[in-house]
């Protein structure tokens, strides 16, 4: 046999050339992580060396085809024998040397090349001889297991591809891998670009692959179907994206934000097409290891599967709370704050920049705006490159001017949304109740206009013009839950008052007495360990000016009867209200021990009650009539014996107790003694026996009030244009003391003037209407209607960048979504309007409930966050709009049943 016949693949070079080339590669090739080396049977390699050293092509030492038979346990599985030793059982040659040897000598038929990777083990680089041997199976068929080997340098993605091929899973399917350890615990393999070594995958483990269900869920998440049966849920086919989100407990703010983002076409299509899988950033220290992006993707894929009426975003809520502790629990939060966190979190989880370089920011220093802007945007993209930047980020110009040296600093800064202020009125409309000291006059409700930054005295002055009562004879008090929450001084700021409180006069020689009404329970409060009776506050509290000389029980009883004359009936002389003297004394003893056991659960609206000491409208009742009405006081000319008989036979309508500001009993009173403390605001309560209250207290009359003509004038709803808000955003302002600017020329912090201008706008523009106003002294929500266009919002007039070259974006936008907030500062409810990208129809999303919406319903004073899509990027709907809905009311067109929910468990 000739030498030529011995070569299987190609004509080899001379033996000396072979020896020189292979020895050179063995000598110079270094181990590098991920490189391939090949295992060659030691005896064959030694025979080759002997052959090339002879220099004789016809030498009997010719090695023949590469043969690794001695390294295998059997020739069926080609599984390596255990405990093989390098340079005794085998040698390692670099890939280039292997390919030359294989080309020159060929390989025994059927034998696989023994390719091995260089791995970075702790403190050393090494060619792994024994790969990781794992078991592979599908989540849908756990019993069908195959065995496969992978290098520790292989990526998890290579395992996924191998499994797709082995189990005939379409390459377009979205997959997730799980490791099942020998102890049966399971863990997600999130980062498919991670190596087998870094993923801690070792021999004997099982890798399970699952594919996403058609309804957007994962088999491993074990969805719990509520109310509707599985058959009903599986048979449901709705418009993709028209899907509610279950309120998990005050999570309407989150649902509103999610619905707006869900109906942002470029972002949703990015997730529906699974583009995010290739861009998940698991190493970004500013990110969330891809978990927020994955959780968001799960919600979007379920909402757009068309298989659910409503989805339960429980896993997403858990992830948000895990990475942003301010959203832990189930308190109400701000939808715009959630949006801000989510957009930033998605950006960092999907940032294509894996290693952020440090870039020193430069001031303009007189350079042209175009140059500085391009540099700023280029630097921004060097550190921030994601679908969020592609879709939502724009650039504005910031100009700061030092008030002292007039240094001008110009920078260009990226933004993700615009927070625009609303024009704030300098006046405030307040509704107040004026309570006259005339006991027969009903409270009068007034509507007054006062300075927003004014004082309580301004409120009194405004009301004085309507009532003709001097403002000095008024006091303002906040009434809540049948008690005085606060009594204000005239020089206090009106910002301390929410929207309703009370007003009176206090003269130097008189006491301003706060009077509460309480009802005793029928039974003693044995549960408290005492023999006292429990009490409950009721009705409206009052303020009275009482002479210091009248601050005893007898005088106060008479004064209180006078003050309550409109709704407290005096007993008829024929009505017997007698009681034995011993019983009366026992009753007084009980009175002094009375403790209140709580207050009514009813809520009285905060109101501003105004009480004056202007007494020209009424006359004091005659003393004799009062005495006949069972007052404990008597006329001075009566005989002592007769006085004693009256005390023995006549019973009071109510008893009097000194109490604290909450209406709780503090101390008892003694006959003839003062029950008023002059060291602080005095509070007293009159306690009614239930039977006496039922007979002599007219609850209907006590609740009556009249409306002043000022209440008949319809309150004008403030309306502003969105364009006004944008203009305010670009108005020059002076920095606040808490946020000064450091002037590089003056070398100190300055309250510089600042102006923001729009330079470039993103594809999707988010506009946050700053309805919530917080300062040192005020907190309020602005309910102005902001008129915003549904189409053709044009920014061409306010964009600084005028010279757009051909093909650059236009500046006209169409509305695609609105996040709404209803209610006040501390509570409220969030909903959203959104336009479906596929059929162009508007919908109203109220947690799990979804209804059709008309365009004329969208602009309201609840609009809080607006989403606009640039017209040059808007595609035409691919589906026709639903029929016959324009004539339907939204409340009559609920889509399907909102009772079908999926409960996704956390992993």
211, 178 in Cβ contact below 8 A? no
CA geometry: angle 55, 59, 62, nearest 5 deg: 100
Question: What's the CA gap between 833 and 858, in Å, rounded?
Answer: 7
Sheet of strand 132-138, all strands in order from the earlier edge strand to the far edge: 141-150, 132-138, 206-211, 175-180, 186-188
3-state secondary structure 381-441: HHHCCCHHHHHHCEEEEEEEECCCCCCEEEEEEEECCEEEECCCCCEEEEEEEECCCCCCC
Extract the tokens encoding 314: 């429980």
Q: Which residues pair with 94 in a beta bridge?
A: 37
260 is catalytic: no
Q: Report the DSSP pairing between strands 607-610 and 427-434.
A: parallel
Residue pointed to by tokens 């009721």: 538
Question: What's the CA gap between 779 and 506, in Å, rounded?
Answer: 30
894, 238 in Cβ contact below 8 A? no
Question: What's the CA gap between 437 and 612, in Å, rounded?
Answer: 6
271, 280 in Cβ contact below 8 A? no
Extract the tokens encoding 107: 């390989």
7 is catalytic: no
Q: One of 79, 322, 614, 829 is an active-site residue; which one? A: 829
Inter-residue long-range contacts of 125-131, CB under 8 Å, 24+ positions, other chains counted? 125/31, 125/32, 125/33, 126/31, 127/31, 127/37, 127/92, 128/152, 128/153, 129/39, 129/80, 129/84, 129/86, 129/90, 130/80
Which positions ≥6 away from 150 have C-beta within 8 Å?
A: 131, 132, 134, 158, 159, 162, 196, 201
Q: Which residues pair with 102 in a beta bridge?
A: none
Q: One of 137, 243, 252, 460 is an active-site residue; which one? A: 252
Question: What's the CA gap between 564 and 556, in Å, rounded?
Answer: 12
95, containing H or E segment: helix 95-105
Which positions ≥6 away from 304 have C-beta within 8 Å?
A: 216, 240, 241, 243, 262, 268, 272
- 576: Cα within 13 Å, side-chain hemisphere: 3
Residue pointed to by tokens 């899988």: 277
Q: Which residues pair with 752 in a beta bridge?
A: none
Coil, helix or strand at residue 79: coil
330, containing H or E segment: none
> CA nearest 800: which of 403, 422, 417, 399?
399
Question: What's the CA gap between 614 and 471, in Å, rounded?
Answer: 11
416, 766 in Cβ contact below 8 A? yes
Extract the tokens encoding 90: 């085998």
DSSP state of 80: B
Inter-residue long-range contacts of 328-335, CB under 8 Å, 24+ positions, other chains counted? 330/248, 330/249, 330/250, 330/251, 331/250, 332/250, 332/252, 332/253, 332/827, 332/828, 333/250, 333/253, 333/254, 334/253, 334/772, 335/253, 335/254, 335/256, 335/257, 335/819, 335/821, 335/830, 335/864, 335/865
* Burial state string for 695-717 with b = 16 or more CB within 10 A and e = fewer than 16: ebbeeeebeeeeebebeeeeeee
Q: Report the DSSP pairing between strands 132-138 and 206-211.
A: parallel
Active-site residue set: 252, 829
């Amino acid at each position: 046999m000739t030498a030529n016949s011995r070569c299987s693949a190609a004509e080899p070079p001379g033996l000396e050339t072979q020896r020189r080339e292979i020895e050179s590669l063995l000598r110079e090739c270094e181990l590098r992580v991920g490189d391939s080396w090949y295992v060659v049977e030691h005896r064959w390699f030694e025979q080759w060396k002997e052959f090339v050293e002879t220099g004789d092509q016809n030498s009997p030492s010719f090695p023949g085809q590469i043969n690794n038979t001695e390294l295998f346990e059997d020739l069926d599985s080609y599984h390596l024998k255990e405990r093989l030793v390098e340079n005794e059982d085998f040698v390692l040659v670099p890939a280039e040397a292997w390919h030359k040897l294989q080309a020159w000598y060929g390989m025994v038929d059927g034998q696989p090349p023994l390719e091995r990777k260089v791995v970075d083990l702790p403190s050393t680089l090494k060619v792994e001889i024994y790969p990781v041997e794992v078991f592979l199976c599908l989540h849908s068929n756990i019993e069908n297991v195959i065995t496969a080997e992978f290098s520790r340098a292989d990526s998890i993605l290579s395992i996924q591809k191998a499994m797709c091929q082995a189990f005939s899973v379409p390459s377009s399917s979205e997959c997730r891998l799980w490791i099942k350890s020998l102890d049966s615990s399971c863990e997600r393999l999130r980062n498919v670009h991670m190596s087998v070594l870094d993923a801690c995958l070792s021999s004997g483990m099982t890798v399970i692959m699952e594919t996403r269900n058609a309804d957007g869920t994962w088999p491993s998440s074990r969805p719990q179907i509520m109310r509707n049966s599985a058959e009903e849920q599986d048979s449901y086919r709705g418009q993709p994206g028209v899907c509610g989100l279950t309120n998990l407990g005050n999570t309407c703010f989150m649902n509103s934000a999610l619905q707006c983002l869900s109906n942002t076409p470029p972002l949703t299509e990015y997730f529906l097409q699974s583009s995010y899988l290739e861009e998940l950033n698991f190493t970004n220290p500013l990110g969330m290891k891809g978990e927020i992006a994955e959780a968001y993707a799960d919600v979007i894929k379920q909402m757009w599967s068309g298989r659910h009426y409503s989805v339960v975003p429980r896993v997403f809520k858990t992830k948000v709370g895990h990475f942003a502790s301010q959203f832990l629990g189930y308190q109400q939060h701000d939808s715009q704050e959630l949006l801000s966190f989510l957009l930033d979190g998605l950006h960092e989880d999907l940032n294509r920049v894996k290693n952020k370089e440090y870039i020193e920011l430069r001031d303009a220093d007189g350079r042209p705006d175009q140059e500085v802007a391009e540099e700023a945007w280029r630097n921004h993209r060097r550190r921030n490159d994601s679908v969020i930047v592609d879709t939502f980020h724009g650039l504005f110009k910031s100009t700061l001017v030092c008030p002292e040296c007039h240094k001008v600093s110009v920078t260009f800064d990226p933004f993700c949304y615009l927070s625009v202020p609303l024009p704030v009125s300098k006046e405030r409309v307040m509704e107040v109740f004026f309570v006259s000291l005339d006991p027969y006059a009903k409270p009068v409700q007034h509507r007054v206009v006062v300075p927003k930054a004014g004082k309580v005295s301004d409120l009194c002055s405004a009301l004085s013009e309507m009532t003709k009562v001097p403002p000095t004879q008024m006091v303002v008090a906040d009434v809540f839950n049948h008690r005085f929450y606060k009594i204000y001084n005239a020089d206090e700021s009106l910002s301390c008052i929410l929207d309703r409180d009370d007003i009176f006069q206090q003269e130097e020689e008189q006491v301003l007495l706060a009077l509460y009404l309480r009802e005793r329970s029928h039974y003693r409060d044995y549960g408290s360990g005492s023999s006292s009776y429990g009490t409950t506050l009721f009705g409206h509290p009052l303020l009275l000016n009482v002479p210091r000389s009248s601050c005893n029980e007898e005088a106060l009883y008479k004064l209180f009867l006078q003050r309550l004359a409109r709704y407290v009936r005096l007993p008829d002389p024929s009505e017997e209200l007698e009681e034995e003297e011993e019983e009366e004394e026992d009753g007084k003893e009980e009175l002094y021990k009375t403790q209140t056991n709580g207050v009514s659960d009813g809520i009285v609206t905060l109101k501003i009650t105004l009480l004056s000491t202007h007494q020209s409208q009424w006359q004091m009742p005659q003393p004799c009539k009062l005495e006949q009405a069972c007052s404990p006081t008597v006329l001075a000319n009566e005989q002592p014996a007769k006085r004693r008989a009256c005390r023995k036979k006549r019973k009071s309508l109510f008893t009097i107790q000194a109490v604290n500001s909450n209406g709780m009993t503090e101390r008892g009173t003694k006959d003839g003694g003062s029950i008023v403390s002059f060291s602080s605001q005095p509070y007293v309560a009159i306690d009614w026996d239930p039977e006496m209250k039922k007979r002599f207290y007219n609850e209907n009359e006590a609740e009556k009030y009249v409306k002043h003509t000022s209440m008949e004038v319809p309150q004008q709803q403030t309306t502003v244009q969105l364009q006004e808000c944008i203009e305010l955003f670009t108005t020059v302002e002076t920095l606040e003391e808490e946020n000064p600017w450091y002037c590089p020329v003056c070398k100190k912090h300055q309250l510089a003037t600042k102006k923001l201008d729009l330079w470039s706008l993103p594809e999707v523009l988010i506009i946050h209407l700053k309805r919530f106003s917080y300062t040192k002294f005020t907190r309020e929500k602005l309910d102005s209607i902001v008129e915003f266009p549904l189409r053709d919002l044009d920014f061409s007039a306010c964009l600084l960048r005028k010279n757009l070259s051909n093909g650059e974006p236009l500046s006209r936008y169409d509305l695609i979504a609105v996040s709404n907030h209803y209610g006040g500062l501390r509570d409220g409810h969030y909903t959203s309007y959104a336009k479906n990208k596929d059929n162009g129809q508007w919908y109203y999303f109220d947690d799990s409930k979804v209804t059709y919406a008309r365009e004329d319903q969208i602009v309201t004073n609840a609009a809080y966050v607006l989403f606009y899509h640039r017209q040059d990027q808007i595609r035409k709907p691919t589906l026709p709009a639903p029929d016959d809905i324009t004539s339907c009311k939204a409340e009559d067109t609920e889509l399907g049943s909102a009772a079908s929910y999926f409960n996704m468990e956390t992993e």
